[in-house]
Amino acid sequence: MYPVIVAFDPGRTVTLGVVLESVKSLCGLVGGFKLGLPFLALYGPRGFSEVRRSCGEGLVIADFKLADIGHVMRLVVEAVSGYIDAVIAHSFVGVEGALRDLKEFLDSVGLKLILVYNMSHSGALETMAPCRERLRRVISSIKPWGVVAPATRPEEVKEARNLFPWAKILSPGVGAQGAKPGTALCAGADYEIIGRMLAYSRDPKAALESIAPGLKRCLGDSDA
Amino acid sequence: MYPVIVAFDPGRTVTLGVVLESVKSLCGLVGGFKLGLPFLALYGPRGFSEVRRSCGEGLVIADFKLADIGHVMRLVVEAVSGYIDAVIAHSFVGVEGALRDLKEFLDSVGLKLILVYNMSHSGALETMAPCRERLRRVISSIKPWGVVAPATRPEEVKEARNLFPWAKILSPGVGAQGAKPGTALCAGADYEIIGRMLAYSRDPKAALESIAPGLKRCLGDSDA
């Protein structure tokens, strides 16, 4: 099993069938699958159910980048809660009236919370990075299962690894966004999130194998 | 027409039929309808299409609180772009690689962008409020059609009114979250966003009329 989460943010020309073939082809070989808002908009809760049915192993993560009041975030998750293992939300909405409510709800139904610490695109440097002390406090207070830090800036992965020792670190930005496979794992991430490079490949398994040397360079023999 | 946007964030027990009856009952009496992620999760793009068909007047706003890279935000909007007038995103994600891409896309398809400046819950005071100088710069750079500032803190509505003179100011937090109808309009908002207090009322029109005196107290005779 490679410490990779495969991200699906499909456009309108991608059918659910294509996604499910990719999921089946990678099932057992990767740590899980991340389904974003475009996936929800196109396929609805049924799409989540089908992905869950297509692979009994690994994590199914709803990457809704939730950033609303607690009441609304909870309602969104309820629509798919039977089919997923974890949900991604933004730390920048804060604790009271937002993430505390979400965390309590997720705990009550046995789902994991993953909070975004920083993002992979350059715009995040203008806003989220300068406010990171505030975001840190939110994450330390909520103690989520996982934290997102960008593979495009490995120093922030290292920082997240040190700041949140209890958390799994998940790193997007590998592939289409520029970071090379293995970069975040070498910096201490638990999972690299890889989308376009793998998800809709004609042969996802072969695409995964082609980046395996990069992924393995900082892993012990037992990890992959 | 009251300067009110009616927000629908339905739970699983609310049918699309109930929402559409409410929309029809309020059509022409309010400025528009705001459909959140719970609405998308439950009813899909078809729900947006049905709301659009049920009322030819006023705005249909997709309140997805988008907070992702530009590529992903665009894909989400594309799923509903034929049925809406405007989209809400977070200023927190910054310009490059995120909101610039979204704005360009929305301009190209004739949709309005609304950016969140601050939110109505208390957790936003720990994170978004201290970072507001950064968020201001993002909003001033992107120049969206609308800006969200919370009715629960009218001084922030006034501030947004002064900082972003070109923008419509939309204020959530009225009703279930504690602000009284009219509070944000008195502080300079163009629209108050009202959800649970109106949306699922047995008689939404009567519920609207019952708060009309509050809404009207700072409006000139021509506004309502």
Q: ipTM value of the model?
A: 0.95
What pLDDT sits at residue A197?
Answer: 87
For residue B134, what is the nearest residue in chain A, using CA coordinates? A127
Which member of B24, B65, B205, B216 is catalytic?
B65
Instruction: Check if A12 contacts B (Cβ < 8 Å).
Output: yes
The CA distance from B10 to the nearest CA of chain A, in Å, is 7
CATH number of the domain at A59, please: 3.20.20.70
- Contact A3/A31 with Cβ under 8 angstroms? yes
pLDDT of B224 reads: 47
Type of residue numbered B137: R
Which chain A residues contact residue B45 at CB under 8 A?
Answer: 41
Q: What SS3 string covers chain B?
A: CEEEEEEECCCCCCCHHHHHHHHHHHCCCEEEEEEEHHHHHHHHHHHHHHHHHHCCCCEEEEEEEECCCHHHHHHHHHCCHHHCCEEEEEHHHCHHHHHHHHHHHHHHHCCEEEEECCCCCCCHHHHCCCCHHHHHHHHHHHCCCEEECCCCCHHHHHHHHHHCCCCEEEEEEECCCCECCCHHHHCCCCEEEECCCCCCCCCHHHHHHHHHHHHHCCCCHHHC
Which pLDDT tens digit goes with each residue over A60-105? 999 999 999 999 999 999 999 999 999 999 999 999 999 999 999 9
Of A69, A70, A92, the CB nearest to B92: A92
Q: What is the pLDDT of residue A221?
A: 57
Q: Say how many domains are in chain B.
A: 1
Looking at the DSSP assignment, which residues form a beta bridge with residue B6? B33, B194
Range of the domain at B90: 2-223
A130-143 burial, b at 16+ Cβ within 10 Å, e below that, comes to: ebbebbbebbeebe
List CB contacts (< 8 A) between B97 and chain A. Answer: 121-124
Q: Do B123 and A93 touch (CB under 8 A)?
A: yes
Q: Do A95 and B69 touch (CB under 8 A)?
A: no
Mutate to test the interface with A, among B48, B90, B126, B142 (most CBs of A within 10 A): B126
The amino acid that residue A171 corresponds to is S
Whether residues B96 and A66 touch (CB distance < 8 A) is answered with no
Q: Is the pLDDT of residue A224 over 70?
A: no
Predicted confidence band at A219 (pLDDT cuts at 50, 70, 90)? confident
pTM: 0.96
pLDDT means per 10 residues, chain B with 224 residues, are 96 94 97 98 97 97 98 97 98 98 98 96 93 96 97 95 98 87 96 92 94 89 52
For chain A, say whether B178 makes contact (Cβ under 8 Å).
no
- Residue B109 touches chain A, beta carbons under 8 Å: no
pLDDT for A23 beyond 80: yes
Nearest CA in chain B to A48: B41
Site from A16, A121, A171 to mutate, B interface, most B CB atoms within 10 angstroms: A121
Q: Which of A37-51, A101-115, A199-213 has the lowest average pLDDT? A: A199-213
Q: What is the pLDDT of residue A205?
A: 96
> Are B80 and A130 a contacting pair at CB < 8 A?
no
Q: Which B residues, 18 through 37, put their C-beta within 8 Å of a C-beta on chain A?
A: 36-37
